């Protein structure tokens, strides 16, 4: 029996390719070439499976042009690069990579919060520029972390991980807002109190965004929301670009509406709004929240496991709704 054909759309661990080659005819992209939508469609001809990342868009036009495709396995927990309704219509299964990155990503969210609140990169740049001439009582004075109020918008697994770190590690008062409230036992375990969005914005000393991107979360934090925050507050976005209105944020950072921001994700990334590059009170990282080798390995392995399980007829391991179980 001939093996299914799979396209790996990005550079991955050599062992991931080797594993997939045991099961499939594989075309890979170890040069990490930037493929246009037309090039991606061309390469997907005759392929039944695709190994994707969060930057590979799977939409109606692509699906209509790739009739052989049966499954796309994302090496990411977020899947806003998938038009899941279109995938369901075309009978293409979508899978993501949840759980394996939760703690690593929560660690990074906390690291970014601390770097932002304690002005770590801003002060490092000052030092590297040779501007450190003497000690001063208020030099790079930042915001307290321990005992402060930590606000979390989006209380899924990663949000819960951040809540635990804040409450248990730093004695923070944790408040959160989410589409739905956690059950009381989980709330108690995370030591987090549910509040409305307005109270979250007004009360948080540090606000961390961990909600998925969807049309309804587009610009969930814009000029109006930033204006409700404390002028001493920090904002951290490890969720998705587009949840924050980056132009409004650059303006808010410049005029002191809020004190500082830490951003791992951007609207239109990898392009970053030039206005953000010139404000000093923002820590910028290139979408690396899940970037540790063990975690990236686990993400790649789960994406590969999904492809193997699917083509062995056992079904996808971590399907994404609403295309759950949809097969061709």
Return residues touching ligand 8YV (CB under 6 A).
Answer: 53-54, 75-78, 101, 290
Q: Which residues of 247-270 are buried (b: 16+ CB within 10 A; e: fewer)?
A: ebbbebbeeebbbbbbbbbbbebe
Q: Which residue intervals of 120-242 are DSSP H helices?
A: 120-128, 157-164, 170, 184-190, 197-203, 223-228
Q: Per the omega criterion (within 30 degrees of 0), is the bond before 322 cis?
A: yes
CA 83 to chain centre: 17
Alpha-carbon distance of 78 to 109, in angstroms, equals 16
Between 40 and 77, CB nearer to ligand 8YV: 77
Q: In terms of DSSP bridges, do strands 93-95 and 5-8 run parallel, antiparallel, or are they unpaired? A: unpaired
| DSSP helix/strand/coil, 65 | helix
Q: How far is the CB of 184 from ligand 8YV (least distance, A)?
A: 28
Between 53 and 257, CB nearer to ligand 8YV: 53
Max CA pair span of the chain = 74
Residue nearest to ligand 8YV (CB): 54
Residue where the block lists tokens 């061709």 = 328
Query: Quick check: is 287 catalytic?
Result: yes
* Structure token digits, residue 164: 């635990």
Between 78 and 222, CB nearer to ligand 8YV: 78
Please answer whether residues 190 and 182 qualify as being in contact, where contact means their C-beta atoms are separated by less than 8 angstroms: yes
Task: Name, in order, each residue with C-beta under 8 angstroms of 226's C-beta and a sequence gap of 6 or more.
Answer: 235, 248, 249, 252, 257, 258
Q: How far is the CB of 76 from ligand 8YV (least distance, A)?
A: 3
Please answer whether residues 298 and 15 qualify as being in contact, where contact means their C-beta atoms are separated by less than 8 angstroms: no
Between 110 and 229, CB nearer to ligand 8YV: 110
Q: How far is the CB of 75 from ligand 8YV (least distance, A)?
A: 5
Between 142 and 241, CB nearer to ligand 8YV: 241
Question: Which of the following is catalytic: 269, 296, 297, 312?
Answer: 269
Between 290 and 306, CB nearer to ligand 8YV: 290
Alpha-carbon distance of 290 to 285, in angstroms, equals 12
Alpha-carbon distance of 62 to 301, in angstroms, equals 25
Question: Which of the following is catalytic: 189, 287, 297, 301?
Answer: 287
Question: Which of the following is catalytic: 177, 240, 267, 296?
Answer: 240
Q: How far is the CB of 54 from ligand 8YV (least distance, A)?
A: 3
Q: How far is the CB of 77 from ligand 8YV (least distance, A)?
A: 4
Q: How far is the CB of 9 from ligand 8YV (least distance, A)?
A: 10
Alpha-carbon distance of 177 to 95, in angstroms, equals 27
Which residues form the catalytic set? 240, 269, 287
């Amino acid at each position: 029996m001939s093996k299914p054909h799979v396209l790996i759309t990005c550079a991955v661990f050599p062992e991931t390719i080797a594993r997939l080659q045991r099961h499939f005819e594989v075309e890979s992209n170890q040069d990490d070439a930037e493929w246009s939508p037309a090039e991606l469609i061309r390469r997907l001809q005759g392929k039944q499976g695709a190994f994707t990342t969060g930057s590979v868009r799977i939409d109606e036009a692509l699906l209509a042009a790739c009739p052989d495709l049966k499954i796309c396995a994302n090496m990411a927990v977020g899947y806003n690069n998938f038009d899941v309704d279109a995938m369901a219509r075309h009978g293409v299964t979508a899978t993501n990579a949840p759980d394996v990155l939760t703690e690593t990503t929560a660690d990074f969210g906390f690291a970014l919060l601390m770097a932002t609140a304690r002005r770590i990169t801003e002060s490092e740049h000052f030092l590297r520029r040779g501007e450190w001439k003497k000690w001063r009582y208020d030099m790079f004075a930042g915001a307290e972390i321990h005992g402060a109020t930590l606000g979390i918008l989006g209380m899924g697994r990663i949000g819960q991980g951040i809540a635990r770190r804040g409450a248990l590690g730093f004695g923070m008062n944790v408040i959160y807002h989410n589409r739905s409230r956690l059950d009381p036992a989980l709330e108690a375990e995370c030591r987090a109190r549910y509040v409305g969005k307005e109270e979250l914005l007004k009360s948080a000393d540090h606000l961390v965004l961990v909600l998925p991107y969807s049309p309804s979360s587009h610009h969930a934090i814009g000029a109006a929301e930033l204006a409700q925050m404390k002028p001493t507050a920090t904002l951290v976005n490890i969720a998705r670009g587009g949840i924050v209105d980056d132009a409004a944020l650059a303006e808010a950072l410049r005029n002191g509406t809020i004190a500082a921001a830490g951003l791992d994700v951007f609207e239109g990334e990898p392009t970053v709004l030039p206005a953000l590059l010139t404000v000093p009170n923002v820590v910028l990282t290139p979408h690396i929240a899940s970037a540790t080798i063990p975690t990236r390995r686990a993400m790649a392995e789960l994406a590969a496991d999904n492809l193997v399980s699917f083509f062995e007829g056992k079904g996808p391991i971590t399907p994404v709704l609403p295309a759950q179980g949809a097969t061709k």
